[in-house]
Amino acid sequence: MKIVHATSELFPYIKTGGLADAVGALSAALADNGHEVSVFVPGYRAVLEHKDAAGAERRLRLKIEMGDQFQSGDVRVFSPRKNLKIYLICREEFYDRRAPYGNGERDYEDNAGRFIFFCKGVVETLRLDDIQADIVHSHDWQAALLPLLLREAERRHGVTLALKTMFTIHNIAYQGVFPSRVFGLTNLPGDLFQIDGIEYYSQVSFLKGGILFADRVTTVSPRYAKEIQTAEYGCGLEGVAQTRADDLVGLLNGVDTAVWNPAIDALLPARYSPANMAGKAVCRAELLKRCGFAADFKGPIFGMVCRFAEQKGVDLVLANRDFFLAHECRLVVLGSGDKQLEQEMQELAAEVPHKVSLSARLDETMSHLIEAGSDFFIMPSRFEPCGLNQMYSQVYGTIPVVSRVGGLADTVTDADANDADGTGLMCDPNAGSLRDALQRALVLFSDGARYAAVQQRGMARDFSWRTASAGYERLYQESL
């Protein structure tokens, strides 16, 4: 099949979260399976500076209609592996910035235009480069208008650019909602600014467009596919999601085992496998050292790596500060985002620097070291479409402590409730229930044999993208 992806993040070129990992691994797996895969990404500064993009070919000049103006850009292409092409939609004014969405304090003012330009750039490239896609698969709000803009361009030009379109919701909490004047930039017919179009309480909703106008809609776990059709998790779009119930499926993400695999992980000081866990102790020692903790510490290390956002339940961990003060354990946190949460975590780390460490930055190497060197990984998300770190944790023999929501519930089994097949500890997304799970973690850690059994079961689970990508292949085939 000829498969086109459009995404605003792609590992290893640009990443703020799991979207990058998911699309990076899925597109690579599809290419390895012999499909002809093209991935479109905005030509952000970080991507253009990546060594793979150094020899990118300038393929096309673009002139994109944006309301009553035309804006220019260009398209560059490179191929990092067989069957895989990366297309960069470039326009310095929009994408030559340090971060993809905002300056750390606020989102960029021109995000609507930036991502409309991106989607239109994809459509224009499909047309001018005569790609003839079987499937055009777009991801999250930034690329959500693509199915609609593509069908509109086909109508205008009397051509077929894609046989089927697919849209994946990686997180329904981020919707790309903008003032109504943004509608003009889409150049879509006025009747689409209505309740059964992309109008949303007098504003424009990009995500709604993806959900309504793609041929098939997926999200990243079976449980989240159900959750987003409820008021509790639908973030206002539950009714819209319900209208697509028949075409909406949840396909679990996987783990890219070329990147996240303790047996070959070059970012670690030592490697290990289920049969030989000695390297994990080396990683633990390195983690203690990096955090400035005593080297001879024998108790449990709790790790946490996440965006500091309400979703991730960082505040629930902070609400349990007494737990970390009272017990002989360590807490290692890597993450940034919400300034208030960062400050509170920093205060805790400053109060007990021998027990709690915060690295408030993006750090790929440190994220691997935390996965490998910790004994438990905490992820008490309020909602979690899929979540990757709880899978990475199991693969790295680090027992996940997670809330029972979304993809976490689909990928972790509670070890206290399931003696024979548990791989983690589960709680509800509130401080009291998390505290109970943390207490149970101490109990589990004190029983070496049982801890090792839970650990080995996690490491034996198959989260590889081979399985995950097969689900997408089936769906593509089915919709064609």
Residue whose pair of structure tokens reads 């993400």 in the numeric block: 253
Q: Is 9 in the site for ligand ADP (CB under 6 A)?
A: no
Interface region with ligand ADP, contact rule CB under 6 A, candidates 271-279, 281-289, 328-336, 416-424: 328-336
Please list, in sequence order, all residues whose beta carbon lies within 8 angstroms of the beta carbon of residue 326, skipping any fewer than 6 positions away: none
Q: What are phi and psi of 181, to 5 degrees?
A: -60, -20
For ligand ADP, which residue of 17, 80, 222, 471 counts as binding (CB under 6 A)? 17
Q: In the bound complex, what is the minimum distance in angstroms from residue 299's beta carbon to ligand GLC?
A: 30
Residues 6+ apart with CB under 8 A from 387: 18, 379, 381, 402, 406, 407, 408, 411
* Contact status: 244 vs ligand ADP (CB under 6 A): no
Nearer to ligand GLC, 227 or 414 (CB): 227
Closest residue to ligand GLC, based on beta-carbon distance: 18
**CA proximity to 214, closest of 258, 256, 164, 159:** 164
* Shortest distance (Å) from residue 258 CB to ligand GLC: 17
Among 305, 331, 349, 444, binds ligand ADP (CB under 6 A): 305
- With contacts defined by CB under 6 A, how many residues of the chain interact with ligand ADP? 18
Q: Based on the shown chain and the rule CB under 6 A, indicate whether residue 24 belongs to the binding site for ligand ADP.
A: no
In the block, residue with structure tokens 């108790």: 299
Residue placing its CB nearer to ligand GLC in the complex, 316 or 329:
316
- Cα separation of 203 and 198, whole Å? 8
Instruction: Tell me the one-letter amino acid at 257.
Output: T
SS3 181: helix
> What is the distance between the alpha carbons of residues 117 and 111, in angstroms, rounded to a whole number?
10
CB of 395 to ligand GLC, least distance (A): 15
We find the least distance from the C-beta atom of residue 139 to ligand ADP, in angstroms, to be 12
Whole-number minimum distance, CB 100 to ligand GLC, in Å? 13
Q: Is 255 in the site for ligand ADP (CB under 6 A)?
A: no
**Which listed option, ligand ADP, ligand GLC, none, makes contact with residue 91 (CB within 5 to 8 Å by class)?**
none
Cβ 98 to ligand ADP shortest distance, Å: 16
Site residues, ligand GLC (CB under 6 A): 17-19, 22, 170-171, 220, 253, 384-388, 407
Torsional sign, CA 91, 134, 18, 286: negative
How far, in Å, CA of 374 to CA of 393, rounded? 9
> Which of helix, strand or coil describes residue 397?
coil
Q: How long a stretch of residues is the chain? A: 480
Q: By CB under 6 A, is residue 18 in contact with ligand ADP?
A: yes
- The interface partner of residue 305, options being ligand ADP, ligand GLC, none and the CB cut-off 5 to 8 Å by kind, is ligand ADP
Shortest-Cβ-distance residue relative to ligand ADP: 18
Closest contact distance (angstroms) between CB of 387 and ligand ADP is 4
From the list ligand ADP, ligand GLC, none, which binds 220 (C-beta under 5 to 8 Å, kind-based)? ligand GLC
Of 15, 19, 13, 22, whose CA–CA distance to 472 is shortest? 22
Q: Residues 112, 123, 306, 372: which binds ligand ADP (CB under 6 A)?
A: 306
Residues 330-369 that bind ligand ADP (CB under 6 A): 334-336, 362-364, 367
Q: Are 169 and 219 in contact (CB under 8 A)?
A: yes
Contact 299/328 with Cβ under 8 angstroms?
yes
Phi, psi of 383 (to 5 degrees): -145, 155
Q: Of ligand GLC, ligand ADP, none, which one sits near residue 334, judging by CB under 5 to 8 A according to partner kind?
A: ligand ADP
Residues 6+ apart with CB under 8 A from 194: none
Residue 227 beta carbon to ligand ADP: minimum distance, rounded to whole angstroms: 15
Q: Which stretch binds ligand ADP (CB under 6 A): 17-25, 34-42, 149-157, 424-432?
A: 17-25
Residue 400 β-bridge partners:
377
| Closest CA relative to residue 175, chosen from 206, 149, 147, 198 | 206
As a whole number of angstroms, the distance between CA 419 and CA 321 comes to: 29
Q: State in angstroms the smallest separation of the CB of 174 from ligand GLC.
A: 8
The rounded distance, in Å, linking the Cα atoms of 349 and 331 is: 9
Of residues 18 and 121, the one with the C-beta less far from ligand GLC: 18
Which residues bind to ligand ADP, rule: CB under 6 A? Answer: 17-19, 21, 305-307, 334-336, 362-364, 367, 386-389
